[in-house]
Amino acid sequence: RVPQGLEIDADPEQLFRVLLNLCRNAVQALDGDQNPAVVRRLTVSAKREAHTSSIRVADTGPGVPLAARAHLFQAFQGSARPGGTGLGLAIAAEIIRAHGGTIALVEAVGPGAIFELSVPDRPGRGGRNGRTPPA
């Protein structure tokens, strides 16, 4: 669910890398969850508030263990899957911070994980979503 016309003022390749990582992690969590009672779902949504754009990536997988949450965005700390490097969320966090934004695991009730990233408009940009309106 992305509002029509929403623009995010960020480097498109870097933002794509962050979203790809979050979605890949969500799909892997869903693939690894063997609980037949849980409906497997990946949801991506976006919203705009004031001078900030936010994107949420949510899944109905098993969630993030409490012990892993404190170090989730640190290098070599996040990977629970075999063959993972533990760099994906650390790189995602660095990219979002370089854009002046934030990324966090949002507390959720029930199964799953919700990650939210927020990116502010760049200073000196006007118009809708930080873009200069056409003349």
* pLDDT beneath 70: ranges in the chain: 1-5, 33, 77-85, 108-110, 123-135
The pTM (predicted TM-score) of the whole model is 0.80
* pLDDT on residue 76: 77
pLDDT given at position 69: 86
Residue 5: the pLDDT is 66
Per-domain residue ranges for the chain?
12-45+85-114
The bridge status of strand 113-120 relative to strand 52-59 is: antiparallel
pLDDT value, residue 128: 45
Q: Residue 109's pLDDT is what?
A: 67
Q: pLDDT value at position 134?
A: 35
